[in-house]
Amino acid sequence: MAYVEAQIGFALGDAVEFPDGTPADVEQAVLMVAAHFYENREATLVGVSAQEMPIGALDIIREHRRYSFG
């Protein structure tokens, strides 16, 4: 959860709910991240190269990120 909070820029406990419910693209991003962590759940990798977070999930999360300047 800390990874998602770092990407969206605020603590999920502080989040204001979406007025029309959670957008489908955000739910999809959560599933993509959960699948990534499930597939890469071992503490060490043997014979496999390390993988990054799926880029699509990061793009979806960034669309909903709130930026604050100043």
Amino acid in the structure at residue 46: V
Q: How confident is the model at residue 53 (pLDDT cuts 50, 70, 90)?
A: low
How many structural domains are present in the chain?
1
pTM above 0.75, yes or no: no
In a domain, 9, yes or no: yes
The pLDDT value recorded for residue 50 is 67
Q: Which domain holds residue 40?
A: 2-63
Measure Cα distances from 41 to 4, 18, 29 in Å.
17, 31, 18
Other C-beta atoms lying within 10 Å of the C-beta of residue 29: 24
Amino acid in the structure at residue 23: P
Question: Running DSSP on this structure, what letter comes out for residue 41?
Answer: -
Q: What span, in angstroms and rounded, lies between the C-alpha atoms of 47 and 19?
A: 46
Q: How confident is the model at residue 65 (pLDDT cuts 50, 70, 90)?
A: confident
In a domain, 69, yes or no: no
The pLDDT value recorded for residue 36 is 80
The pLDDT value recorded for residue 7 is 72
